[in-house]
Structure 1
Amino acid sequence: MFDKLRQFLKSAVTGEGDGLRFAEDDHRLAAAALLVHIVSVDGVVDDAERATLKDVLAQHYKLTPEMTAELIAEATERDNEAVDLYGFTSVLKRNLEIEERLKVLEMMWQLVYADGSVHEFEDNTVWRVAELLGISSRDRLALRRKVAGEDEAS
């Protein structure tokens, strides 16, 4: 009984608990669903992409390994149910300022480059997401160069 009370109090105070679920309109879930989508859009998900997905989400949102795993599981479920990307991007556009939306796009590029190659489906998906998020082509390409390690001065 005391364990259940302790879990309840921990959940109420920290937001952590066994039944932690990310809300439908949680921008972290929407961003994670886009990241899950970009990882799998070329038809191959390798270990480097899985590791990068975990690292990017954990670092950006300051999540524990358990919360990261739950976020990825829920995002995968949402991505599998989705008919398009608009549902995810509309949550992000409503809830995030442009700087944070740019960070989401940067995370997408990190995942695109995680396996060492850029597939045309990945490039096209990032372009569509950028358009839906209201991010200019100039900013999208600048983020791509940044993640790829290319010199912007040239």
Structure 2
Amino acid sequence: MKMFFAARALLAACGNSARAADCTSIADTQARLACFDNAAKAPKAAIKKPPTDEFADAKAALVRKLTDPESARFTDLFKVSTPDEGEVTCGMVNSKNRMGGYAGARGFIFHKRQNLATLMLSGGSDPDYRGENAASYCVYCANDPRGDREFSVHCPSLIKSYRSAR
């Protein structure tokens, strides 16, 4: 009976927040095991979920096109609701090229409805870089202060050629 009260007192001392270091210092085997059991049953601190990234789809679609996807540095991301194409995401990305150096930030557009990302001024490295995607970047992204200023100089001719092709 004495043993029961001693174990119970030790358990009360351990409480719900018992740590493994506290339990190891208990000499009595049964009381030590009870302390560990009690610590295991204690409610865990609430694990905070990281905030969801509203641009995750756009980033995922774009990094598939990069030479070194893990080096991607995204900046100036924003969304635009369009009447024709639904929601598009615009932004800038800088990533390493084949030589291992950062190439400089470039504009991109992501069409959510099509799950299609297009990197501006990408030449032959992005098969989706064509007139209509470049023109949509010009219409929805380039005029925003966060848009790609280097690319915006090409916009008047791109929009004109795209409209004449339709």
TM-score, normalising length: structure 1? 0.30
Structure 1 or 2, whichever has the larger Rg, is 2
TM-score, normalising length: structure 2? 0.28
More helix by share: 1
More strand by share: 2
- For CA contacts below 8 A with separation 6 or more, give which structure has more relative contact order: 1
